[in-house]
Structure 1
């Protein structure tokens, strides 16, 4: 294969390389530890219940020997669960395909977690117009600890991350395709009117019809909200950003009525969102509607005249159920050793220990061996990413940097809504959903260092060396922390060497 062929296939090679790296880190020894890790006690057992009963039955408070295959604790009584269905349905898919064991619970999340790294690479390649920077972003997503841990455990946040990143990538593709169509329309209009380049154009610009990439993004965000409700924040922020991008594209290309043209396209997009999101969301509750044993399924029939009485009984019951879920979430203040304040999430101040057990049968070369899993992002990615985020905010305010806004918007969509709920029992690993956007923001900053504006696309020798050293350091740190992300038995002293901050212990 010659260089010309490699160049033509560069995007495919990038995606395959990033995907393989991510898959190795997520699929290797996926069945270990052979135990329920952190909140797998809720979601793995709930998913198994879906495969057996069609709904989530009550397991009681005793975890029993579920990891060893003992499912006798499952009761046909409907369980009060506080998150939507999609994540648990995907876990259930893995159980159906590969069996009720740790590999079965985790495999679908691991595959979709690998896909997240590929989607980050593809989105970055379009945003930065560079396969090099797309590869950098994809590799960083592949080796970040939070993304690895949440891909390797049967929790919901990894699935939420996948659908959010999928929606974002679809909007990036839509943006590029729409821009190309608008440029072609502008060129045709100037040619027909015999206007010079850069001249202003009459009217608002063309109607573009149904934009299927954007519709697909709306469906992806609806599925994100069907994993966890905070997917709605990403839908709101990123779809509004898409509309703003349309308006700015029409203005850049010279249409006098650019605002009305963008508004004309925004109205159907908004209406489509208001229809598609609730329809998809309710559809994902199909098993709840179709099974009599589901929690509160018959609430409306047993409470006539209560609730939203103009709705059909089934929907009235669902609304009441959601009111209970909302009350639970807003009132959850139970103390937990690893609860954390969202103001500290960006610097990973209090990461969550998912699993920590002595491993007396392991041969780790020390008197005491332990197996630990910490939902801790690569410290260099997050610390440098936080600095890059501050730089991006300055660039947005001072220079109206659109690219800085695009890459950082996902961080703010995922982080800011949690700040008013600092009183709640919440955890740092919730930040995994905006980890891809922290990475994109960091890559944006690294690109500006290596390719400063004054070189007009050229490479700064000093900047490139600095960026190369930073990336090498990130990879070394990831290699150092991998045992704490995948649960490999290690000497207790080696575990202690990873506790860089007192708040990590």
Structure 2
């Protein structure tokens, strides 16, 4: 048995398959609970139905891709809770696998990669989004896989690098085609590409202008900097616009090429409009502290009182903040670039919401940041453990599992004792 477990360390594809099966099972069990539309499904399920019937524009403040994927689930599994949420559950599984692949490529070690996947699956916000017909789970899946493919593209022959880089650009375009919140990540990807090239030139004691060349580069060999940036931009933009293809076939007010850019302006106006105050609104600084979770559902359903509270796993969300500080300390102390990179991912994901023009914020905007914490934690443990296999990260993952089991009844719409049954889990008044 021990020999078989050791063999798995050199077979990441088999491990990924097992992880995928486990994650999909977790996200699929009782996915039809609640049996009715909950929270923002009220916007996206009707929009997906309209897309299937090609009726006409609906929910135009967001691009089409996420609603197209929800519609695909309805087309395959029917217009029911399973159909609404089928593809979101697949996106949740894809997110778990992306976390595994990212840490595996970054560190080349199975232990932290498995911990990253486990924490991602136990991250309660992913669990809930994977079982809710909303857009954010697709956004996270596409963005994480874009990061994975960019990381994969850092190594390989020049021909491989270009193909993988193009694949990353396509995934970024699909992320933007899901939700405009992905746009800053396209810019950040280009910025990271430039900064890493400049760092490589400095470490090699070459002129900084050599960073523009694709020759002799330790990362993305054969890909010159300016052509690489142009490829990233043009492919991601082209992919984004291709996601609007169904709109050209609407029965009412079909989209035209001349109307494609004006539509973007209309979407921007809707995205930046000043909205009325909302019960569940919250500020960006409160999200890491989990001060204001969101009740996606709290009603009598299928013969019982049920609830779905969008709340993060406290072990991951609060413990992850310490891991961010640890990664920053690792860089200050020893200039460790990998811990710094994942810490900056989390910092940038939160900083975006300080800048973008949104009149209201909600805790589910923190979804991507929560995913990045699941990468930060194992990277921090790996760095400070220094290969001594003390197993501290496994204990952290076990604590996250205990918290997940504790919160399970109010994240999985399980039957509650009565209408006040939720009070058991309300640690703070702001959680009510």
TM-score, normalised to structure 1, is 0.77
The answer to whether 1:504 aligns with 2:431 is yes
Structure 2 match to 1:30 = 31
Partner secondary structure for residue 358 of structure 1: strand
CA distance in 2 between counterparts of 1:55 and 1:406 reads: 45
In structure 1, what is the equivalent of residue 415 of structure 2?
A: 489
In structure 1, what is the equivalent of residue 152 of structure 2? 173
Aligned equivalents of 1:14, 1:285: Cα separation in 2: 36
- Partners of 1:283 and 1:345 lie apart in 2 by 34
**Offset of 1:317 from its aligned partner?**
2.1
301, 310, 313: which one aligns with 1:378? 313
Q: What does 1:355-366 correspond to in 2, within 5 Å?
A: 355-359=297-301, 361-362=303-304
| Counterpart contact for 1:112–1:159, Cα < 8 Å | yes
The aligned residue for residue 248 of structure 2 is 289
Quick one: distance in 2 between partners of 1:215 and 1:333?
Answer: 38
Matched, 1:351 2:293: yes
Q: SS of 1:331's equivalent?
A: coil
Asked if the contact 1:19–1:114 (Cα under 8 Å) also holds between the matched residues in 2, the reply is yes
Deviation at 1:278, TM superposition (A): 1.9
Larger radius of gyration: 1
Contact 1:38–1:355 (CA<8 Å) still a contact in 2? yes
In structure 2, C-alpha distance between the alignment counterparts of 1:79 and 1:116, rounded to whole Å: 28
Which residue of the other structure, out of 382, 388, 393, is the alignment partner of 1:458?
388
2:368 aligns with one of 433, 457, 464: 433
Answer 1 or 2: higher relative contact order, Cα 8 Å, separation at least 6.
2
Q: Secondary structure at the match of 1:100?
A: coil
**Match for 2:61 among 60, 75, 82?**
82
2-structure distance, mates of 1:286, 1:417: 29
Q: Paired residue for 2:219?
A: none
Query: 1:269 Cα deviation (Å)?
Result: 1.1
Specify the alignment match of 2:210 in structure 1: 260
Matching residue of 1:302: none
Shift in Å, 1:446: 2.3
Partner in structure 1 of residue 165 of structure 2: 214
Q: Check if 1:17 corresponds to 2:18.
A: yes
Aligned length in residues: 421
Which secondary structure does the structure 2 equivalent of 1:245 belong to?
A: helix
For 1:248 and 1:422, locate their aligned partners in 2 and report how far apart those are by CA, in whole Å: 32
Change in Cα spacing, 1:8 to 1:354, as seen in structure 2 (3 Å) is closer
Supply the RMSD in Å over aligned alpha carbons. 2.5
Distance 1:82 1:471 in 2: 38
Structure 1 range deviating more: 388-397 or 109-118:
388-397
Seen in structure 2, the aligned counterparts of structure 1 residues 420 and 15 have a Cα distance that, compared at 3 Å, is same
Aligned partner of 1:317 in structure 2 is: 259
**Offset of residue 421 of structure 1:** 5.2
**Do the aligned partners of 1:79 and 1:294 also contact (CA within 8 Å) in 2?**
no
CA distance in 2, matches of 1:359, 1:49: 26
1:159 aligns with 2:138: yes
Distance 2:46 2:182 in 1: 23
Matching of residue 227 in structure 1 with residue 174 in structure 2:
no
Check 1:494–1:416 CA distance in 2 against 1; reply closer, same or farther (3 A cut).
same
**Distance in 2 (alpha carbons) for counterparts of 1:458 and 1:258:** 38
CA distance in 1: counterparts of 2:412 and 2:79, whole angstroms:
20
**How many Å separate the matches in 2 of 1:128 and 1:140?**
17
Cα separation, 2, equivalents of 1:158 and 1:294: 29
Asked whether 1:147 is paired with 2:126, we answer: yes
Q: Does 1:327 align with 2:269?
A: yes
**What is residue 49 of structure 2 aligned with on the other side?**
48
Tell me how far 1:263 sits from its aligned partner: 4.8
Structure 2 distance, partners of 1:480, 1:494, is 14
TM-score under structure 2 length normalisation: 0.90
Please say if 1:137 is aligned against 2:137: no
Please give the alpha-carbon distance, in whole angstroms, between the structure 1 residues aligned to 2:380 and 2:9. Answer: 27
CA distance in 1, matches of 2:69, 2:286: 31
- 1:249 CA displacement: 4.5
* 1:269 pairs with one of 221, 228, 252: 228
Question: Which of 276, 279, 287 is the equivalent residue of 1:337?
Answer: 279
